[in-house]
Structure 1
């Protein structure tokens, strides 16, 4: 098990030994605040795009549900004739950057989440560590009303007009410590400076969302096959908070599955999908985009692999807030 996986597991358990990392958290905070101050004081220059920018991110490391939220917002805006594009860091992608993401672009080039976003929405999207270059690439190809930045909440080089922070109450804020003692990228006071969307099945806030799973589907199926929850499955997952996926499986009626966890954005090899028996695999859509690309190299691979799609369900207050925020920046939704 890698060091990153050990620390991630310790975060999820809120292990007491994490206190030994506190000096590193002090150094992290010092560096973070110094860098932020350089941008705020104009020592480092920030880029302002010619169209409004909305950042959707979180203050924690790992999954919060922001990608399904972003996908749902893109569908909502496209249905209302808002010309929207998306940019992202492209974490896990090898580039070269900036890279335009097409429906058939490999996740090894642009990252798993951008590949999933474009496959799910058909939205114009560009990725790369330099967000200005990604925006300029998008605007050279498309006339856009709005750009959504997937993650990038702490990317001070990009000015933004709207900020949404997804707060996953299923996972919480852990021990409320900064990296690496805890999994906070910023202190909890940051929540006071943005629109907070509560991800919870029993929310306390009007602005909330939850994920609803749809019927699992089979990769490379010649025809439609019915999903059988009564079989034994290998749950293969490489996301920030795998416990959420396990809960989804239980909600679907699965009680017999063996967990095989990998780090977030794991680069799968065919050996990761090999087991001694022929029980099927079940995985997330985010993992599936990389697994499907991998299987193109191994047409002889025969094991069934099932994918569980999820959809973000947003409260009415989320949409009304979004419409008002866009209107405040000159984007009117009919």
Structure 2
């Protein structure tokens, strides 16, 4: 967490110096959403249901493991899901279907991870309408999951699911740049479900836990040592402290931590002086496999949703089938 984010989440008063800019940001955000609601701005629907997985704050809230869980759940219910994503950090101007031949720099780290683990088609494009149309035209997908698509109002949606970080909450509840919010807190009242990740949040109806499993080697060959070893943590995610807590709770000793900004583009030089064994997140691992050393590992996590949420979601899916 950099010094700016510390101000957001630890209530440092210096961030409020930017409160006038936050008022302007709020005005733009409210007008933009209202404009799409009233038809001032054009939005587009696609032939199949669209499920939004998003948040109202910047930084990690657990959207990627939740999306993986959602893909598996939808498949168990008889659907054929597909995913659209922006492809953060990649230079993309037209829809691209993510394959195992892509690098994270080509399509973004999260889409690459989603494509490799979900076994669902993943299409990236800054224009999610174009991405969704391409997905439906080129695959047998019958339900679209829009990853981090809450604020992309050009794409009409049937369900909005919002993730909240249970450890950090919404910080000082100010909009950018004085706080971490992309939209006002009141936006949570209009979404279909608020899910809190690993903690509590007053406005959340449902809970999610992230459960780690045995670390795996980036080179695909080395085995996690049976004898306990202290590791150096490496992470470039929105909330690295959650990763630290997860590792320690899993019983792994941490000797050092090296954090980079979210979505950092790793290369061999950036990790050259880090002492192993190294343990990183799965999202970071997809960017480091090409130059990984034998003692570099990643810690997979799996989302576990409450039964209440599963029952609620099944009810939504039944309604779509009946329509």
TM range (shorter): over 0.9
Query: Take 1:169 and 1:133, find their aligned partners in 2: how far apart are those partners?
Result: 33
Q: Which residue is 1:272 aligned to?
A: 270
Q: Give the CA deviation at 1:249.
A: 1.3
Are 2:315 and 1:329 aligned? no
1:124-175 deviation per Cα after TM superposition (whole angstroms, max 9, x unaligned): 1101111111011111211222101011101111110101111222111111
Query: Take 2:90 and 2:198, find their aligned partners in 1: how far apart are those partners?
Result: 30
Q: 1:307 to 1:179 in 2, by over 3 A?
A: same
Q: Which residue is 1:216 aligned to?
A: 215
1:138 to 135, 140, 145: 135
Q: Which residue is 1:125 aligned to?
A: 122
Residues 129-168 of structure 1: pairs in structure 2 closer than 5 A: 129-168=126-165
Query: Take 2:276 and 2:10, find their aligned partners in 1: how far apart are those partners?
Result: 30
Contact map agreement 1:216 1:227 (CA 8 A) in 2: no
Are 2:310 and 1:319 aligned? yes
Q: Which residue is 1:298 aligned to?
A: none
Q: Give the CA deviation at 1:79.
A: 2.8
1:89-123 deviation per Cα after TM superposition (whole angstroms, max 9, x unaligned): 11122224311112332111110100001111110
Q: 1:319 to 1:76 in 2, by over 3 A?
A: same
Q: Which residue is 1:243 aligned to?
A: 241
Query: Take 2:134 and 2:198, find their aligned partners in 1: how far apart are those partners?
Result: 36
SS at 1:329 equivalent: helix
Gaps of 5+ in 2: none
Query: Take 1:268 and 1:9, find their aligned partners in 2: how far apart are those partners?
Result: 24
Q: Which residue is 2:229 aligned to?
A: 230
Gaps of 5+ in 1: 296-300
Contact map agreement 2:176 2:182 (CA 8 A) in 1: yes
Q: Which residue is 2:196 aligned to?
A: 198
Query: Take 2:201 and 2:55, find their aligned partners in 1: how far apart are those partners?
Result: 17
Q: 1:39 to 1:216 in 2, by over 3 A?
A: same
Query: Take 1:107 and 1:59, find their aligned partners in 2: how far apart are those partners?
Result: 25
Q: Give the CA deviation at 1:243.
A: 0.5
1:108 to 100, 105, 110: 105
Task: Give the count of matched residue pairs.
Answer: 321
Q: Give the CA deviation at 1:235.
A: 1.0
Query: Take 1:234 and 1:200, find their aligned partners in 2: how far apart are those partners?
Result: 23
Q: 1:97 to 1:302 in 2, by over 3 A?
A: same
Contact map agreement 2:80 2:142 (CA 8 A) in 1: yes
Contact map agreement 1:55 1:164 (CA 8 A) in 2: yes
Quote the RMSD (CA, aligned, Å).
2.0
Are 2:9 and 1:28 aligned? no
Are 2:86 and 1:89 aligned? yes
1:252 to 234, 250, 253: 250
Q: Which residue is 2:16 aligned to?
A: 19
Contact map agreement 1:229 1:252 (CA 8 A) in 2: no
Q: TM-score, normalised by structure 2?
A: 0.93
Q: Which residue is 1:169 aligned to?
A: 166
Q: Give the CA deviation at 1:202.
A: 6.2
